[in-house]
A = this chain, B = another copy of it.
Amino acid sequence: MKMQAWEEAAPGVWRLTIGDPQAITPLTWMGVSPRTDALSQKPAAQPPFAWESIQLEEARSGHILSFPLNQTEKLYGAGLQLLRMNLRGRTRYLRVNSDPKQDTGETHAPVPFYVSDLGYGVWVDTSRIVTIHCGSTLKQEDTDRSEIRNRNTDKGWKATPIASRVEIQIPVEGADVYVFGGPTLSDVVSRYNLYCGGGVLPPKWGLGFWHRVPTLFNEEEVLEEARQFREHDIPCDVIGLEPGWHSHSYPVTYEWEKSRFPEPERFVQQLKHNGFHVNLWEHPFVSPETELHSKLQPLSGSHTVWGGLAPDYSLPEAQQLYKTQHDEQHVQIGVSGYKLDECDGSELTNNSWMFPGHAKFPSGIDGEQMRQIYGLMFQKMTYDLYHSRNQRTYGLVRASNGAAATMPYVLYSDLYDHKQFIRAVCNSSFSGLLWTPEVRRARNAEDWVRRMQTVCFSSLAMLNAWGDGTKPWSYPEVEGIIRHYIKLRMRLLPYLYSNFALYREQGIPPFRAMPFVISAAEIAQAEAGGPDNEPSILNTTDGAYGKKKAREWDDQFMVGDALLVAPLVEGEWERDVLLPSGIWYGLETGERYTGGRVIRIHASLEQIPVFVRSGSVIPMMPALPHVPHAGTRVALELVHFGSEPGEGLLYDDDGETFNYEKGECGWWKATVTQNSDGEFNGKLTGPDGEMPSYDSINWRFAQTRLEASGK
């Protein structure tokens, strides 16, 4: 096939159109415009390859597009990968699947976008399944004989030979393929996010603490549980209702069950009055017991799921039915958002919780496409609903795909491995996704604390008690630790919010994997002084291809540029931490560390190891019971760490509406200088000398640790 020309679609973004791309893709569905303003301000990027080094071949299974790969480069991304960070040597079969228990590439959010640590990225914008062979295939002509070793005698034998190309299988119909330039990995991801419209800025309340109540709770039980949060002095902003609020589920009605919620509006308003937002669980499959059913039936797919209709929301008529019903019965009475469940479907542990790939939809879309973008459809429809009311929303979704950075949705999973949940914080950052390592029941108090510590340093801090009824005080012996971390999150809200604003405006995610801030060469240097990896051992019971595993540092991450979080999981009382160069302090221990090294940390149950970069200025606020409403002014604290001058950023706006789109927002820079006597001084400068909407500003200088109280 003749290769079309690559064209520059935006600064540092190149596009190749292969075949005849389909009408509905993540990018067209989202309808977003590239943030060319922000893209133009980035450092200039050169194409990462000579275009002629990219090959296009035809196969029965689709177009095979291949890119060169050097001997040592690492590849990241491909969406919400739970089982691995560096994709080099692996094939990613990027199908939406709710049970990513094996490392095939399938996941809730399989974005066909990978980034290289050499500073470029490749994205296929399609609603079909893409397979990316990330250096897991080797052609005859690329096979280096000298690399072939004798496993019998040569200890250098590798289970996975080093390949020299990435081979991408693109759907037979064709697709648009994008290459994003750097120069750094962070720039690549930023370009991808900006090209897709920039990152999301949640409402401030969305960054408070979330609690989902047991599925069959009624009005009184929910109100009582909310009250207990205040009584226990544990901040909480959002109460989530689970399937029991529907009059029938599964499949669902989207209508309130009147025996449990006789007056939904009064109920929602009462919670709101007490400082709680309401989030409603739903899934895509429409019950015959709802008014919508007969209208949606002709607009739905050939197959039912749990007996419910799977509507074709690419049809404007179906969209309108869904939006109107949701607007009238939920949004207008004050509901703040949704948890969009089961729009992924499982083909691993069970195969009947999704329509098949061959299902047919009235618009002509088939089951494969619909499943790949079903999560995006619900995100966009609900987002539009709130946007049209100039009201921000924030919620949860179980399936996503490319071009999702603008969406106010955070991914979650029914899986529950804490290490995987931490890795997902890292991996989601490469592909314009947000992820919550939600907490459910725990094995014991230690497991409970470790999970709660992690979730408080994520995009959405939530306890999901839908099935087990746990509460933050369920393990009384550690209630104090839990309270401490939920309050710490609340105190950090100005910092978190500012980092989300950076996501929106510059495409740099608030939670970032280590490759965003440290290069492969720097990692190698830091590791040189660290503990050895374990050697491989031949093992005939658990797997015959044992090999030395390189440490991926997929168990620690940055929150903004100032904080490094290195969680512990149950059973761990110490761990290695990769510290980038510079001076760091233990955020709550005050211990001083020299970075550019791997350090060994011990931590009691009271502590999650968090490190703050010397010279940072972190904006903070008091640990209120809930995030203040727009217009409520609270005290701002600007905490400067270390013994040298430094600076930090603060973003602010009303926190609830889209008025920032009209410029009603501002950035402030907190600058700390030191005079000749060694005294520190702080200065907050902002747009036109305006001050942010806080009622006082307290500076703290030269801190080595955060003081326990917010005041």
Query: Is the beta-carbon distance between B148 and A287 smaller than 8 angstroms?
Result: yes
How far is A64 from B59 in the complex, measured between Cα atoms in Å?
22
Contact with B along A352-364 (1 / 0, CB 8 A): 1101111110000
A contact residues, range: 35 or more
Q: Which of A403-426 contact B (CB under 8 A)?
A: 414, 416
Asked whether any CB of chain B lies closer than 8 Å to the CB of A446, the reply is: no
User: Chain B residues near A159 (CB, 8 Å)?
Assistant: 350, 353
**Stretch of A67-75, A97-105, A268-276 at the chain-chain interface:** A97-105
Shortest CB-to-CB span from A395 to chain B, Å, is 19
Asked if A304 CB lies within 8 Å of chain B CBs, one says yes
Q: Are B288 and A145 in contact (CB under 8 A)?
A: yes
Are the C-beta atoms of A467 and B352 separated by less than 8 Å? no
Task: List which A130-161 residues lie within 8 A (CB) of chain B.
Answer: 131, 133, 136-140, 143-145, 147-148, 150-152, 157, 159-161
A91 within 8 A of B: yes
In angstroms, how far is the closest chain B Cβ from the Cβ of A566? 24
| B351 and A464 contact, CB distance less than 8 A | no
B152/A216 in contact, CB under 8 A: yes
Q: With the chains together, A396 CA to B599 CA distance in Å?
A: 49
Query: For residue A169, which residue of chain B has the nearest CB?
Result: B358
Tell me the complex Cα distance, A366–B169, Å.
Answer: 14
| B307 adjacent to A138 (CB under 8 Å) | yes
A160, B306: Cα distance in complex, Å: 7
| Contact B441–A540 (Cβ < 8 Å) | yes
User: Which of A150, A163, A414 has its CB near the most chain B CB atoms (within 10 A)?
Assistant: A150
Using CB atoms, name the residue of chain B closest to A142.
B304
Q: Is the CB of A543 within 8 A of B61?
A: no
Given the contacts A356-B167, A464-B540, A350 and B160 also touching, CB distance less than 8 Å: yes
Known contacts A102-B348, A169-B358, A139 near B89 by CB under 8 Å: no
| A 279-333 contacts with B by CB, 8 A | 287-289, 297, 300-309
Q: Are A350 and B90 in contact (CB under 8 A)?
A: yes
A182 within 8 A of B: no
Q: Are B151 and A356 in touch, CB under 8 angstroms?
A: no
Q: Is the CB of A257 within 8 A of B152?
A: yes
* A578: min CB distance to chain B, Å: 26
Q: Determine whether A593 belongs to the interface, using a CB cutoff of 8 Å to chain B.
A: no
Asked whether A249 is an interface residue with its Cβ less than 8 Å from the other chain, the reply is yes
Q: A143-B307, A538-B467 are in contact. Are A243 and B152 (CB under 8 A)?
A: yes
A301 to chain B, nearest CB (A): 8
Q: Given the complex of chains A and B, what is the CA–CA distance between A707 and B104 in angstroms?
A: 52
With A61-B366, A93-B347, A143-B304 as known contacts, state yes or no: A352 contacts B440, CB within 8 Å.
Answer: no
Q: Is A37 an interface residue (CB 8 A)?
A: no
Write the nearest CB–CB distance from A83 to chain B, whole angstroms: 10
Say yes or no: is A700 at the interface (Cβ < 8 Å to chain B).
no
Task: Report whether B133 and A64 are in contact in the complex, using a CB–CB cutoff of 8 Å.
Answer: no
A250 at the interface (CB under 8 A from B): yes
With contacts A249-B151, A347-B91 taken as known, whether A300 is within 8 angstroms of B140 at the C-beta atoms is yes
Chain B residues closer than 8 Å to A539, beta-carbon distance: 467
Highest count of chain B CB atoms <10 Å: which of A91, A244, A308:
A91
A467 and B152: CB pair below 8 A? Answer: no
**Interface status of A466 (Cβ within 8 A of chain B):** yes
Beyond A104-B348, A163-B352, A243-B151, whether A467 also contacts B358 by CB under 8 A is: no
- Say yes or no: B99 contacts A102, CB within 8 Å: yes
Q: A60-B366, A358-B59, A467-B540 are in contact. Are A160 and B91 (CB under 8 A)?
A: no
Given A61-B358, A139-B304, A540-B464, check contact A351 B91 (CB 8 Å).
Answer: yes
Report which of B61, B139, B301, B350 forms a contact with A357, defined as CB distance below 8 A: B61
In the complex, chain B residues whose CB is within 8 Å of the CB of A140:
297, 300-304, 309
Chain B residues in 8 Å Cβ range of A104: 347-348, 351
Query: B300 contacts A542, CB within 8 Å?
Result: no
Instruction: Check A248/B350 contact, CB under 8 A, given A304-B140, A414-B544.
Output: no
In the bound complex, residues from chain B placing their C-beta under 8 Å from that of A91 are 347, 351-352, 356
Whole-angstrom distance between the Cβ of A187 and the nearest chain B Cβ: 29
Q: How far is the CA of A115 from the CA of B246 in the complex (A)?
A: 40
CB-contacts of A427-480 with B (<8 A):
440-443, 464, 466-468
Residues of B within 8 A of A676 (CB): none
Chain B: minimal CB distance from A69 (Å):
13
What is the chain B residue whose CB lies nearest that of A464?
B540
Contacts of A440 in B (CB 8 A): 540-541
For A152, the chain B residues whose CB sits under 8 A away are 215-216, 243-244, 246, 248-249, 257
Task: Name the one of B90, B148, B304, B416 contacting A308, with C-beta atoms under 8 angstroms.
Answer: B148
Give the complex CA separation of A468 and B161 in angstroms. 25
Residues on B with C-beta less than 8 A from A360 are 59
- Residues from chain B with a CB closer than 8 A to the CB of A545 are 349-350, 353
Say how far A288's CB is from chain B's closest CB, in angstroms.
5
- Flag whether A368 is at the interface (Cβ < 8 A): yes
User: Which chain B residues border A645 with CB–CB below 8 Å?
Assistant: none
Whether A251 is near chain B, meaning CB under 8 Å from some CB there, is yes
Residues of B within 8 A of A304 (CB): 138-140, 143
| A501-539 to B contact mask, C-beta < 8 Å, 1/0 | 000000000000000000000000000000000000011
By a CB distance below 8 angstroms, the chain B residues around A366 are: 59-61
Contact partners of A151 in chain B: CB under 8 A: 243, 249-250
Chain B residues, CB < 8 A from A349: 102-103, 543, 545
B441 x A351 contact (CB < 8 A): no
Chain B minimum-CB-distance residue to A154:
B248
**Can you list 25 contacts pairing A with B, beta carbon distance less than 8 Å?**
A57-B358, A59-B366, A60-B368, A61-B366, A89-B352, A90-B350, A91-B351, A93-B347, A102-B348, A102-B349, A103-B348, A136-B351, A137-B303, A137-B352, A138-B303, A145-B307, A147-B307, A152-B215, A152-B216, A167-B356, A416-B540, A416-B541, A442-B541, A443-B541, A466-B540
- Pairs of residues from A and B, 6 with the lowest C-beta to C-beta distance, nearest first: A91-B351, A148-B307, A59-B358, A467-B540, A136-B352, A440-B540
Given A90-B351, A102-B102, 11 other A-B residues pairs in contact with their CB atoms under 8 A = A59-B366, A91-B347, A101-B102, A103-B348, A136-B352, A137-B355, A138-B303, A152-B215, A152-B249, A152-B257, A441-B541
